[in-house]
């Protein structure tokens, strides 16, 4: 179905590409996206020297499908990495962004501190250098902070700066429990439940969100206490913001070193996020479910040294995660022939912000949610949106949800009943996108134990 491109000529004189992907990072907590705290001064300054995309969308609400969509250019229905159940791995027909850049003569490296870029998922394929400091031996299984990888990342850049290179580094500090050297920076003096290690863990989030998974009574008592006083949620947000501010400082160090090394003029820099984080909106925390804006709208800052005329631009076009692979391949001059990429390069927008672009954008989640039937393989969360309107379809809810993001960016007022015309239009686009993007191959329904055609003993002779 998807063909590998032939080996291409070496990439002499081509631009380097550096991609910093900050896990669990919502756009609206950046200064450049209007946040009231000074959390991101270095990345805000970087955005002013490049292009800020105001409506960039994650693929879904969690890491694995988002990384897979970035590195394959395909939606989860194609690459198949939409569940964290054991045994999931990138299928053999897939190639990766790193593999294709390697064919074009690039040196490639991946540095991470998170579980979903461990080798068993198959997403490290094609990277010449692979380093993941996440420890499966740790009982808490907490992602490692970027600071622990920074020296190695910079060392690799210095070692490879004379060759065209692609560096992909994930920054995992904002994943719970929100790594920070100064966690009390934005709410000093608080003494309360947020300092309990359980509270900044995924099980607490799932219990808080009402997912039925048999949590122990002690944890449920902590959830009840947390919800009884808004100070606790405010302090959790303060921890999140302190972690973001710490990431900004490390990114500032990284950018300063790139300037010292003289790499700014031949390197495209991209800063984005695999998904955001719910911080109390809709009664949800963390990113274990939903496709509401706090978890779906992510930062996307791009600095292209060859496109200085558009530096400082702020673009409202709808950009999806699957657009990043074709964009990077175009920047690198690498072939896209036979890859079946499902996004589109936004390089034309970097040249001309008024260039034609899509009217609709989409995101989806397919994952194992504890309170759904065990083994349910159905796509359970989808959204479709245009410039202002956003439609939600959740398989575990009995109605559409519709929001006007231009007047209600945090989706507080469901207008599906009031605007059936908009609901119908976006519902049609959602179904159309599903049919256009999913594989259409015959085979047994999910969960069927027997093949459609059994081979008789006689037919084997």
Q: How far is CA 140 from CA 135, 144, 197, 278, 360, in A?
A: 9, 11, 10, 21, 40
Q: What is the pLDDT of residue 37?
A: 98
* Contacts (Cβ under 8 Å, ≥6 apart) of 81: 64, 65, 67, 68, 88, 89, 90, 121, 123
Q: What are the structure tokens assigned to 28, written together? A: 């609206």
Q: Does a structural domain hold residue 430?
A: no
In 3D space, the residue among 57, 68, 50 whose CA is nearest the CA of residue 26 turns out to be: 57
Say what the pLDDT of residue 215 is: 83
* Residue 2: predicted pLDDT: 41
Is 41 inside any structural domain? yes
Contact residues for 413 (Cβ-Cβ < 8 A; gap 6+) = 403, 404
Identify the CA nearest to 204 among candidates 222, 217, 190.
222
Instruction: Tell whether 268 is covered by a domain.
Output: yes
**Looking at the domain assignment, is residue 8 inside a domain?**
no
Residue 214, token pair as written in the block: 């048999």
Residue ranges for the chain with pLDDT beneath 50? 1-10, 370-371, 375-377, 447-461
CA-based end-to-end distance of the chain? 31
pLDDT digits (tens, 9 = 90+) for 350-378: 999 999 999 999 999 876 554 455 544 45
Rounded-to-integer distance, Cα 154 and Cα 89, Å: 30
pTM, two decimals, is: 0.91
Question: In this predicted model, what pLDDT tens digit does every residue of 230-248 receive, in sequence order?
Answer: 999 999 999 999 999 999 9
Q: What is the CATH number of the domain that holds 321?
A: 3.40.720.10
Integer Cα distance of 95 and 86 in angstroms: 22
In a domain, 323, yes or no: yes
- Contact between 250 and 41 under an 8 Å Cβ cutoff? The reply is no
CA dist., res. 270 & res. 460, Å (int): 55
- Whose CA is closest to 200, among 234, 176, 223, 218? 176
Could you tell me if residue 400 is inside a domain? no
Tally of domains within the chain:
1
Rounded distance, CA 155 to CA 158, Å? Answer: 5
> Does residue 437 belong to any structural domain of this protein?
no
Domain range holding 85?
16-359
**447 within a domain of the structure (yes/no):** no
User: Among residues 32, 13, 58, which one has the least CA distance to residue 303?
Assistant: 32
């Amino acid at each position: 179905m998807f063909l590998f491109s032939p080996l291409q000529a070496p990439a002499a004189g081509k631009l380097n590409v550096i991609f910093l992907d900050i896990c669990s990072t919502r756009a609206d907590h950046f200064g450049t996206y209007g946040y009231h705290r000074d959390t991101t001064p270095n990345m805000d300054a970087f955005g002013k020297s490049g292009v800020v995309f105001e409506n960039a969308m994650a693929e879904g609400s969690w890491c694995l499908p988002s990384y897979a969509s970035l590195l394959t250019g395909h939606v989860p229905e194609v690459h198949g990495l939409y569940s964290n159940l054991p045994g999931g791995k990138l299928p053999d027909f897939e190639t990766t962004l790193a593999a294709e850049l390697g064919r074009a003569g690039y040196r490639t490296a991946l540095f991470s501190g998170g579980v979903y870029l461990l080798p068993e998922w198959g997403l490290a394929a094609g990277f010449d250098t692979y380093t993941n400091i996440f420890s499966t031996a740790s009982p808490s299984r907490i992602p490692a902070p970027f600071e622990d990888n920074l020296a190695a990342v910079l060392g690799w850049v210095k070692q490879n700066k004379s060759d065209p290179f692609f560096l992909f580094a994930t920054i995992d500090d904002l994943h719970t429990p929100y790594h920070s050297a100064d966690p009390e920076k934005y709410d000093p003096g608080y003494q309360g439940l947020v300092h309990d290690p359980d509270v900044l863990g995924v099980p607490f989030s799932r219990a808080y969100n009402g997912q039925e998974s048999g949590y122990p009574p002690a944890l449920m008592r902590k959830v009840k206490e947390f919800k009884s006083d808004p100070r606790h949620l405010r302090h959790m947000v303060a921890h999140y913001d302190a972690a973001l501010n710490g990431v900004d400082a490390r990114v500032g160090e990284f950018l300063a070193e790139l300037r010292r090394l003289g790499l700014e003029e031949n390197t495209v820099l991209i800063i984005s996020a695999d998904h955001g984080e719910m911080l109390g909106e809709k009664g949800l925390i963390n990113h274990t479910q939903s496709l509401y804006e706090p978890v779906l709208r992510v930062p996307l800052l791009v600095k292209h040294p060859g496109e200085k005329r558009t530096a400082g631009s702020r673009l409202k076009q709808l950009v999806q995660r699957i657009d990043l692979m074709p964009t990077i391949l175009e920047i690198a001059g690498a072939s896209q022939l036979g890859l079946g990429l499902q996004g589109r390069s936004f390089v034309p927008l970097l040249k001309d912000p008024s260039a034609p672009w899509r009217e609709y954008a989409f995101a989806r989640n397919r994952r194992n949610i504890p309170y759904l039937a065990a083994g349910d393989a159905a796509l359970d969360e989808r959204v479709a949106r245009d410039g202002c309107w956003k439609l939600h379809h959740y398989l575990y809810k009995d109605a559409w949800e519709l929001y006007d993001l231009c007047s209600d960016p945090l989706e507080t007022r469901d207008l599906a009943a009031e605007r059936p015309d908009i609901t119908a239009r976006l519902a049609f686009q959602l179904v159309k996108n599903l049919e256009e993007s999913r594989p259409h191959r015959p085979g047994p329904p999910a969960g069927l134990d027997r093949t459609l055609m059994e081979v008789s003993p006689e037919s084997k002779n």
